[in-house]
């Protein structure tokens, strides 16, 4: 009995052991299934996150692409102003920064020769209509436009011998007001009281830049130092090149010449408005470049006091080449930029020339314009922007037409204005 009871107690004990083992197996199976489900959820979450990250990357790329497409024109105009400022700096260095000084006409010859050659090649490649002479009925106007542009460019470059590049640059912003006045007189286009007021304010700014002695008396006449400027003078701590001195009389004459140059440029722009769409803009630019090249060459050849200077150093050669390349890039980038961008945004960016001019003056010559020049510059730029904003109001969504380098100074005033009525047009 006792053995039987013992045996019976042991047998039931074995069954629970088997039951425990089977339950452990079932528990292990459950844990394994739970682990598999968790892994699947983890993989699913990872794929979802990867999909979201991919969408975010695509969205970022689309936003970047949209930003690029929206602002490519502005970027081109910005680069054009950089090249324009560098070209003006190189011009002043060649005119004043070496023992062998280059005349403005020779610099124009080099720059416009490069522009005309590269421009002709570009128009031939693109098969521009009516290349190279344009339509017969507008060739006289194209010649007038080229001669007026050449006069304006010569006045600007010659004034750089006595003016800082910031002063010469800001005076060129008188062009919109002058063009509006010429179009009012010659083409009977509207010339509002606001435009006239802005013009008077701008000319007041010119007086602050010129600082004539009868308005700004001085204790003693400024006498320029002996002209022994050489590039990279070691004892000049402020800038790379010593500053170029000029008397009040020289400054006044240079400012007057610069104003005459802006008037000539305005006459060129008015002629462009008369030409309208009858000639491709690049054909107009080519007339300007070719006539400036031929005109400067003939004047240097005929004038007894002028002669062709040969660069005496590699740096002078580099500056001449840089002027030619920068001149073409300035033209090309402005044309491309203003084709892609609305008139108001693009043309207002042209006023960044003044910022670049101030920076380059400080770095290269170590000079900063006096308070009078800065105040006059503010008056000129403010009046020009004010006129541009007034012109932009009725045509904010209008795209800018193709313009050339000098015409771009008209800003939105020209781009937004209606084209002049021409023969044969309704």
Q: How far apart are CA 52 and CA 58, in angstroms?
A: 10
What is residue 218's predicted lDDT score, i.e. its pLDDT? 63
What pLDDT is stored for residue 41 in this prediction? Answer: 56
262 neighbors 178 (Cβ within 8 angstroms): yes
Q: pLDDT value at position 238?
A: 65
Helices (H) and strands (E) in the chain, counts: 13, 0
pLDDT at 142: 93
| Distance (Å, whole) CA 236 – CA 301 | 37
Could you tell me which of 162, 145, 67, 154 has the C-alpha nearest to residue 108?
A: 154
CB-based contacts of 79, cutoff 8 Å, min separation 6: 329, 333, 337
What integer pLDDT is reported at residue 398 of this predicted model?
A: 44
Q: How far apart are CA 296 and CA 301, in angstroms?
A: 8
Distance between CA atoms of residues 413 and 343, nearest Å: 9
Q: Is 399 helix (H, G, I), strand (E, B) or coil?
A: strand
Distances in Å between the alpha carbon of 217 and those of 43, 144, 369?
84, 41, 18
* pLDDT value at residue 146: 93
Question: Looking up tokens 């089977």, which residue turns up?
Answer: 22
- Rounded to two decimals, what is the model's pTM? 0.70
Are the C-beta atoms of 166 and 358 separated by less than 8 Å? yes
Cis bond leading into 132, ω under 30°?
yes
Give the model's pLDDT for residue 363: 87
**pLDDT tens per residue, the chain (426 residues)?**
443 444 444 444 444 444 444 444 444 444 455 455 555 555 656 776 777 777 777 777 787 777 777 778 788 888 888 998 999 999 999 998 888 889 999 999 999 998 899 889 989 998 988 888 989 999 999 999 999 999 999 999 999 888 888 888 888 888 878 888 888 888 888 888 888 888 889 889 888 888 777 677 765 444 444 443 344 343 444 678 887 778 888 888 899 999 999 999 889 888 888 888 888 888 988 999 999 999 999 999 999 888 888 898 899 999 999 998 888 888 778 777 766 766 556 666 777 888 888 888 888 888 888 888 889 888 888 887 787 776 555 444 444 444 444 444 444 334 434 444 333 343
Instruction: Tell me what pLDDT residue 369 has.
Output: 84
Q: How many Cα atoms are found within 13 Å in the side-chain-facing hemisphere of 80?
A: 27
- In this predicted structure, what is the pLDDT of residue 293? 95
């Amino acid at each position: 009995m006792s053995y039987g009871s013992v045996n019976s107690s042991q047998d039931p004990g074995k069954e629970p052991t088997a039951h425990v083992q089977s339950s452990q197996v079932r528990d292990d199976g459950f844990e394994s299934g739970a682990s598999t489900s968790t892994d699947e959820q983890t993989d699913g979450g990872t794929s979802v996150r990867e999909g979201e990250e991919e969408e975010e990357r695509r969205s970022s790329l689309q936003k970047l692409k949209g930003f690029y497409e929206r602002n490519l024109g502005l970027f081109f105009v910005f680069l054009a102003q950089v090249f324009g400022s560098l070209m003006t700096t190189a011009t002043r260095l060649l005119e004043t920064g070496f023992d062998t000084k280059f005349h403005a006409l020779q610099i124009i010859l080099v720059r416009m020769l490069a522009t005309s050659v590269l421009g002709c090649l570009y128009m031939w490649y693109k098969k521009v209509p009516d290349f190279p002479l344009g339509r017969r009925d507008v060739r006289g106007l194209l010649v007038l436009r080229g001669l007026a542009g050449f006069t304006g460019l010569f006045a600007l470059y010659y004034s750089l011998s006595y003016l800082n590049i910031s002063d010469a640059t800001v005076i060129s912003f008188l062009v919109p007001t002058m063009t509006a006045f010429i179009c009012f007189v010659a083409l009977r286009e509207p010339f509002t009281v606001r435009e006239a007021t802005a013009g008077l304010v701008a000319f007041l700014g010119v007086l602050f830049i010129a600082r004539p002695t009868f308005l700004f008396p001085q204790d003693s006449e400024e006498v320029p130092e002996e002209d022994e400027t050489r590039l990279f003078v070691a004892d000049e701590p402020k800038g790379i090149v010593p500053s170029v001195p000029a008397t009040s009389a020289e400054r006044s004459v240079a400012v007057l010449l610069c104003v005459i140059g802006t008037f000539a440029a305005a006459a060129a722009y008015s002629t462009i408005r008369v030409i309208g769409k009858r000639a491709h803009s690049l054909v107009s630019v080519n007339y300007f470049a070719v006539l400036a090249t031929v005109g400067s060459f003939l004047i240097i050849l005929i004038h007894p006091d002028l002669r062709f200077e040969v660069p005496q150093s590699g740096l002078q050669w580099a500056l001449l080449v840089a002027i030619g390349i920068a001149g073409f890039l300035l033209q090309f980038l402005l044309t491309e930029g203003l084709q892609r961008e609305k008139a108001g945004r693009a043309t207002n960016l042209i006023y960044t020339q003044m910022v670049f001019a101030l920076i380059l003056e400080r770095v290269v010559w170590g000079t900063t314009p006096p308070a009078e020049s800065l105040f006059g510059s503010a008056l000129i730029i403010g009046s020009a922007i004010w006129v541009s904003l007034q012109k932009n109001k009725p045509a904010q969504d209008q795209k800018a037409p193709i313009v050339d380098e000098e015409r771009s100074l008209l800003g939105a005033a020209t781009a937004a204005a209606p084209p002049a009525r021409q023969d044969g047009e309704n």
